[in-house]
A and B are shown apart, each in its own frame.
Chain A
């Protein structure tokens, strides 16, 4: 039985290694998606919070979790989606944001909940040349979590991880 052979912390550590399928430089733990592990007589329940309601990566992440557990000999596992509290980019640590930037994605720059109606002084830095002379091309980019920007200095287009 899972409960007898594993500690909650051990399973969390195991799952913390799983990468975000769309941004393979950060893990699901660093993104704040992995919320908790509950061990019971019935097995192991993984609590996961979706970043976006329709994020297509969630299905892949669920499969990754189940196969990681299976490799560790845990068969009776299930993944439960938890909506509250809603996922927010505020949960990303500075280290996580650094990783995003190195990967070529500008990190969210302000808190998700404040000033959404009139975000002032938002300087999105180009992840390539670090110039703050950038412009928004579209609020909707290659994936649900990103906006499309372009740098006026080095003229490169780049993704910006939207505040949420």
Chain B
């Protein structure tokens, strides 16, 4: 694997995580529990789609075959998407989305802080912008964990169930593939493994402050980074890619 191939793959992983997260959050549009939350979740979705656009645009430039961000987002088949499985989990109920956002944005907080120091100037620039947005995403999910966890018996139960259900998909975020090892060596990427302890500490603090128990199960399901997805991915893509498949090159 050349440095260029590894960087392309690395950018696709980062971009796909943002793209799929954005899609899932935008499913809340007009379905939020209250108007303010409808706006909040779709605002976060907007931040994610912006990040996906920047990362995929840059991936296209790195690949050098003239693929645009849109082509990368809407024309690839399922096994060529490299997002973590946790991103493609259905939006579920509000507690499920909040738990998902906490587990993902805590990771992104640590990841993008590191990527701000990337030797790749474009990636560092995108990270410099993204980290400011991630801070707002993280505080949003943290504050809702407090409210749901310490709210009613039902809201606590729903949040606990969501954390339990999502837990086995969190480990994948810290895996290191061949392209990530190479990016780490080149001081472009970040050492995911080194983020895990800090992640666990931060997540445990928020959850225990929310009266939520940390799951003890240790089984981890992964595969997304290698293009092996859950059954959810096909459903996402059939909806997301429909227009571009039916009407290639369609623009506003």
Contact = CB atoms under 8 A, between A and B. Distances in A.
B47 interface: yes
A55 B47 CA distance: 8
Interface in B104-141: 121-122, 124-126, 128-130, 132-133, 135-136, 139-140
Interface of B: 36-37, 39-40, 43-44, 46-51, 53-54, 121-122, 124-126, 128-130, 132-133, 135-136, 139-140
Given A83-B122, A139-B139, A144 B43 contact: yes
Interface string A130-153: 000000011111101000100000
A116 B49 contact: no
Nearest to A49: B129
A86 B125 contact: yes
Contact of B43 (A50, A82, A85, A140): A140
A101 to B, nearest CB: 22
20 contacts: A52-B47, A53-B53, A53-B54, A53-B129, A53-B130, A53-B133, A54-B46, A54-B47, A54-B49, A54-B51, A55-B50, A82-B125, A83-B126, A86-B128, A116-B135, A116-B139, A117-B135, A140-B39, A140-B44, A144-B47
Contacts of A82: 125
A103 B152 CA distance: 41
A117 to B, nearest CB: 8
A141 B50 contact: no
Contacts of A148: 36, 39
Contacts of A110: none
Interface string A76-100: 0000001111111000000000000
A164 B121 contact: no
Q: Is chain A's interface secondary structure helix, strand, loop, or mixed overall?
A: loop
B130 A138 contact: no
B54 A83 contact: yes
Interface core residue of A84, A87, A112, A141 (most chain B CB under 10 Å): A84
B150 to A, nearest CB: 19
A162 interface: yes
A86 B43 CA distance: 19
A20 to B, nearest CB: 17
Nearest to B41: A140
Contacts of B39: 138, 140-142, 148
A145 B133 CA distance: 10
Nearest to B44: A140
Contact of A140 (B40, B53, B54): B40
Nearest to A53: B50
Nearest to B34: A138
Contacts of B139: 116-117, 139
